[in-house]
Chains A and B, each alone.
Chain A
Amino acid sequence: MSQTSSSFDLKVVLRDTLMVGLVSLILFGPIVGIVLDGYGYNVEPGRVGIMVAVVMAGRFLLSLFGQTAKGRDWIESFKRNDGGVHVLPPGHKSNLRFILPIIILVAIAFPFLATKYWLTVIILCLIYVLLGLGLNIVVGLAGLLDLGYVGFYAIGAYGLALGYQYLGLGFWTMLPLAAILAAVAGAILGFPVLRMHGDYLAIVTLGFGEIIRLVLNNWLEVTKGPNGIAAPSPTFFGIEFGRRAKEGGVPIHELLGISYNPNATMIFIYTVLFLVVLLVLYIKHRLTRMPVGRAWEALREDEIACRAMGLNHVLVKLSAFMIGASTAGLAGVFFATYQGFINPASFNFFESVLVLAIVVLGGLGSTVGVVVSAFVMTLLFELLREFGDIRMLVFGVLMVVMMMWRPRGLIRIARSGFAIRKGVAP
């Protein structure tokens, strides 16, 4: 490096580095260097020194790299606004053909091999896949930033718990009902606000999500407030999976005359959840190829052009909103039955941010991306449990960097291409 650097403008590099060092000293000096303790403080200059040094070294290397031809290209690639989707060549066969059966096989074998702990982790992963898929329709495809998404999740979860408590409805009744309930809530919220400018929408949905949480927290007579409420375990035609029958059914181990398996409940939830995820994946896959799916994406890219073409933008947006909300409702039911107990604390703003991060990192609009990032994110959260405090920071950094590096996410949407066939009606 030292031989080649003579051709660079070293002065610029050094000036940049010094400037950055000065700024980071002002930024980190007080907050990192002086730690409040009661009304006094402790001075920790070492930490500031390390941080400033790291920032300066980073800036130095970046400036050096920026002076090489490769580096210039690299920096240019940030400024490029890589537009939209890329179209696959006609007749392209996705690798998914081979991978999908393998995954399904692994998924079927999984409950027989895993411990209960890993079952619960994977169930959580799948719940986030559902949430991510739903939000992906709203944010990724329709381009509506929804920051109160967790509100619909809460509606699903509380739908199951309250429906069981007051109406005696079980898991299977509430599963479709919660989806409908959440969709209706989505429509009620969406109808008045969807005419709004995109950023206003973000704030209104944020407000709406908070309203739902606050009402759940304050409406003591019905929701028991912060104390939370119990949610029922799933049953299957009167068969129960717990050690003792609670719903008046028969525990499965007594029915089949086998010894009690503590994993049974989780295996059942896992199975149903996996099937639901597959179903949602399929529906979503079809939707994006239908006119309404095309309309979502067109509206995201250019609303004015769409309206000029005679598209009813409110209806199109509303459909995206409702489908996204109903998916969250489904996820909520699974969450409630999996945890067996819910309280409003599980549905705060950060949950919305987490789901948003999953969608953004996976690639706005990309189904595969969302599935992958939901798994990576949830597993990372589990595996890095010790780094609890840092993970949210890493999260924030990831969100900012991703927006600069790839505003459209890790995996870009690929659209299948079609060749015009001669003499055959398409």
Chain B
Amino acid sequence: MSKIYRKGILALAIGSAFTLSSLAHADIVIGVAGPYTGASAAYGEQFWKGATQAAADINAAGGINGEKIKLVQGDDACEPKQAVAVANRLVDSEKVKAVIGHFCSSNTMPASEIYDEAGIISITPASTNPKITERGLTGVFRMCGRDDQQGIVAGDYIVDTLKAKKVAIIHDKDTYGQGLADATKAQLNKRGVKEVLYEGLTRGEKDFNSLVTKIRASGADVVYFGGLHPEAGPLVRQMREQGVTAKFVSGDGIVSADLVTTAGGPQYTKGVLMTFGADPLLNPAGKTVVEALRKSGYEPEGYTLYSYASLQAVAAAFNGIKGTDGAKAAEWLKSHSVNTVLGEKSWDSKGDLKVSDYVMYEWDDKGKYNQLP
């Protein structure tokens, strides 16, 4: 009986594969892939809100080459294994012509390979790991900066503005965190500052006291942390508790109001510095979009507008080549610039943005962050 079970499921599987593939032909289907479940689900929602708003606006303005955009979700839950399955499903079952995604760098890595193999373009609004565009794939783009660009901004700031002599570099042993820490380290070394401490901490832990004591012993006057807010919060708190007054500098992984919650109050996060893209809410081009999103009851935070801009770029490329061919669209994007909600954007031959716009932010004593002049 059990074997019949298996056969039935197989039949079901094959059957549904056929029905799925025969569904989508009328419109231009574009996949929006990211974590819609799991710990990073909030970022997936940002992707989806931004993309749906963009699709609605573009469709209202006539669509792509007269055809309407239809978006489909792909949930990778920030697990590489699921990203592969989702990428294949988007390519084969949904017949997407382009993909906006993914979020986690470790997911974008294997998934973009599948998109490239299938000859469709993919634009990630958030994956900053440098390796993504360093693998010779022709159809992979990003709408955000790279960790090494972020590292340069942070490194220069530490040397030029903070005039630090002793820098401790801490990372969370994850693709994003360590990549960022290494990029900053490289820039610091280039500028002649050798780090006094370079160590990792374990994600999910909360006790960093022994590490903090080590930082204290090293006499660092700046601590650079590559990682996310769940670890950054307790780390900065335990530093202050042990009387370490060194400046705390980090990247775009701590851009969340939860940083204050996890640190035990704004008295600990006051003065924390971080690099992040120039505030898109300040950009005049985005004003109407921001208003439209706010009207629908959604505050366009984080990567919402990056996702919006990614879809704009796809639409512009398809309109530019009067078709949906991936290879031609990739060529078009590399030779033209697109006017997006984030401003004028253009890409180099690897698919990276030609100009990155990372700037420094500082957290104040009320638990908010402000762009430094």
**Interface residues, chain A, with chain B CB atoms under 8 Å away:** 38-39, 95-96, 99-100, 102-103, 106, 110, 113-122, 124, 217-218, 225-228, 242-243, 262, 338-343, 345-346, 368-369, 371-372, 375-376, 379, 382, 385-386, 388-389, 411
Known: A106-B10, A228-B109, A228-B175. A339 touches B84 (CB 8 A): yes
Instruction: Please report whether the interface of chain A is mostly helix, strand, loop or mixed according to DSSP.
Output: helix
CA distance A340 to B4 in the complex (A): 33
Per a CB cutoff under 8 Å, which of A226, A243, A345, A382 touches B117?
A243
CA distance A361 to B131 in the complex (A): 41
Q: A99-B3, A102-B7, A343-B80 are in contact. List 17 more A-B contacts (CB 8 A).
A: A38-B257, A39-B261, A95-B1, A99-B4, A115-B92, A117-B93, A118-B17, A121-B85, A122-B10, A226-B175, A226-B178, A227-B179, A228-B109, A345-B79, A371-B6, A375-B6, A388-B36
Instruction: Please report whether the interface of chain B is mostly helix, strand, loop or mixed according to DSSP.
Output: helix
Q: Assess the B131–A227 pair: CB atoms within 8 A.
A: yes
Q: What 1/0 mask marks residues of chain B from 147 to 182 whose CB sits below 8 Å from any chain A CB?
A: 000000000000000000000000001110011000
CA distance A207 to B80 in the complex (A): 24
**What are 16 residue pairs bridging A and B, where the CB atoms are less than 8 Å apart in the complex?**
A106-B10, A115-B17, A115-B92, A118-B92, A121-B13, A124-B81, A225-B173, A227-B129, A227-B131, A228-B80, A338-B84, A341-B113, A345-B106, A346-B79, A376-B5, A388-B77
Find residues 32-61 in chain B having any chain A CB closer than 8 Å to their own CB: 36-38
CA distance A340 to B93 in the complex (A): 21
Q: Assess the A110–B106 pair: CB atoms within 8 A.
A: no
CA distance A327 to B98 in the complex (A): 39
CA distance A166 to B330 in the complex (A): 34
Within the complex, the shortest CB–CB distance from B202 to chain A, in Å, comes to 8
Q: What 1/0 mask marks residues of chain B from 1 to 36 whose CB sits below 8 Å from any chain A CB?
A: 111111101100110010001000000000000001
Asked whether any CB of chain A lies closer than 8 Å to the CB of B75, the reply is yes
| Cβ–Cβ < 8 Å partners of A110 in chain B | 10, 14
Known: A110-B14, A341-B113, A388-B38. A226 touches B91 (CB 8 A): no
| Cβ–Cβ < 8 Å partners of B77 in chain A | 388
CA distance A341 to B117 in the complex (A): 15
Known: A102-B7, A227-B131. A346 touches B118 (CB 8 A): no
Within the complex, the shortest CB–CB distance from B52 to chain A, in Å, comes to 17
Q: Assess the B6–A117 pair: CB atoms within 8 A.
A: no
Within the complex, the shortest CB–CB distance from A19 to chain B, in Å, comes to 36
Q: Assess the B14–A118 pair: CB atoms within 8 A.
A: yes
Asked whether any CB of chain A lies closer than 8 Å to the CB of B319, the reply is no
The 10 residue pairs across chains A and B that have the minimum distance between CB atoms: A388-B37, A99-B3, A341-B110, A115-B92, A117-B92, A117-B89, A116-B92, A117-B88, A118-B17, A372-B2
Known: A218-B200, A345-B79. A103 touches B110 (CB 8 A): no
Q: Assess the A375–B9 pair: CB atoms within 8 A.
A: yes
CA distance A106 to B1 in the complex (A): 16
Known: A343-B106, A346-B80, A372-B6. A118 touches B75 (CB 8 A): no
CA distance A388 to B82 in the complex (A): 11
Within the complex, the shortest CB–CB distance from B132 to chain A, in Å, comes to 11
CA distance A346 to B85 in the complex (A): 14
Closest chain A residue to B74, Cβ basis: A385
CA distance A342 to B17 in the complex (A): 27
Known: A121-B85, A226-B106, A345-B80. A379 touches B175 (CB 8 A): no
| Cβ–Cβ < 8 Å partners of A95 in chain B | 1, 3
Closest chain A residue to B37, Cβ basis: A388
| Cβ–Cβ < 8 Å partners of A38 in chain B | 257, 260-261
| Cβ–Cβ < 8 Å partners of A338 in chain B | 84
| Cβ–Cβ < 8 Å partners of A388 in chain B | 36-38, 75, 77
| Cβ–Cβ < 8 Å partners of B7 in chain A | 99, 102-103, 106
Within the complex, the shortest CB–CB distance from B108 to chain A, in Å, comes to 10
CA distance A117 to B87 in the complex (A): 8
| Cβ–Cβ < 8 Å partners of B10 in chain A | 106, 110, 122
| Cβ–Cβ < 8 Å partners of B2 in chain A | 368-369, 372, 411
| Cβ–Cβ < 8 Å partners of B110 in chain A | 339-341
Within the complex, the shortest CB–CB distance from A307 to chain B, in Å, comes to 36
Per a CB cutoff under 8 Å, which of A96, A341, A343, A382 touches B3?
A96
Within the complex, the shortest CB–CB distance from A425 to chain B, in Å, comes to 35
Find residues 79-135 in chain B having any chain A CB closer than 8 Å to their own CB: 79-81, 84-85, 88-89, 91-93, 106, 109-110, 113, 117-118, 129, 131
| Cβ–Cβ < 8 Å partners of B109 in chain A | 228, 341
Within the complex, the shortest CB–CB distance from A262 to chain B, in Å, comes to 6
Per a CB cutoff under 8 Å, which of A117, A118, A121, A343 touches B91?
A117
